[in-house]
Amino acid sequence: MTPIIATDAAAHCADWRLQIEPLNEYEETAIAAEITHYPQPQAATIEALKIVQQQQGWVSDGKIKAIAQRLHMSPDEVDSVATFYNKIYRQPVGTTVISLCDSVSCWIMGYQGLAQALTQELNIALGETTADGAVTILPTPCLGACDHAPVAMVGDQRAHKLTPSSLIELARLAQEQPL
Ligand code: FES
């Protein structure tokens, strides 16, 4: 692959951030409905991000700009909300996201062994997506189930007291049938 030199990358980035990706009809309608629940449209930011992610699988810079325009905010303000919530993805992810808790209880109870087993099984590093687009692995802070450590979210399902073999089994299921 031809390496992108720094100046090209910067220019590409600047162009990309100027692009607005208009909300589609569903997104526009759903966000408008959410806005009615709050005194200020800005309060609907997280719901707007979730609506776009549900439609697109992730939230691009262009969609950030469209949400900002709709909610009368700056793109940076919307982006700061998006990056605060670790379930909003700012890059494309696989069909199933495995979020592996790396906070203290899970770390003590075997996080490193789980991460090693999973990255070897899927042949990707943390933060990457399998070549077939089926699974992304992300480290994540505490999932609120420390007494069941080690814990991961596999898609929308929380898995408790994981072992390397039970986690690999879940990852294989996710590759066969998205969770
Ligand atoms: S530390 Fe992992 S769920 Fe709390």
Ligand 1 atom closest to Cα of residue 142: 4
Tokens of 45: 């930011």
Cα separation, 87 vs 50, whole angstroms: 9
Q: How far is the CA of 140 from the centre of ligand 1 (A)?
A: 9
At 171 the pLDDT is 95
At 16 the pLDDT is 47
Q: Is 149 in the pocket of ligand 1 (CB under 6 A)?
A: yes
Domain ranges of the chain: 6-84, 96-176
3-state class (DSSP) for residue 128:
coil
Domain 96-176 in CATH 1.10.275.10? The answer is no
Cα separation, 159 vs 146, whole angstroms: 12
Same fold, 6-84 and 96-176: no
Place of tokens 């979020």: 99
Q: What is the pTM of this model?
A: 0.80
Q: Is 59 in the pocket of ligand 1 (CB under 6 A)?
A: no
Q: Which residues of the chain are modeled with pLDDT < 70?
A: 1-18, 178-179
Class (C level, CATH) for 6-84: mainly alpha
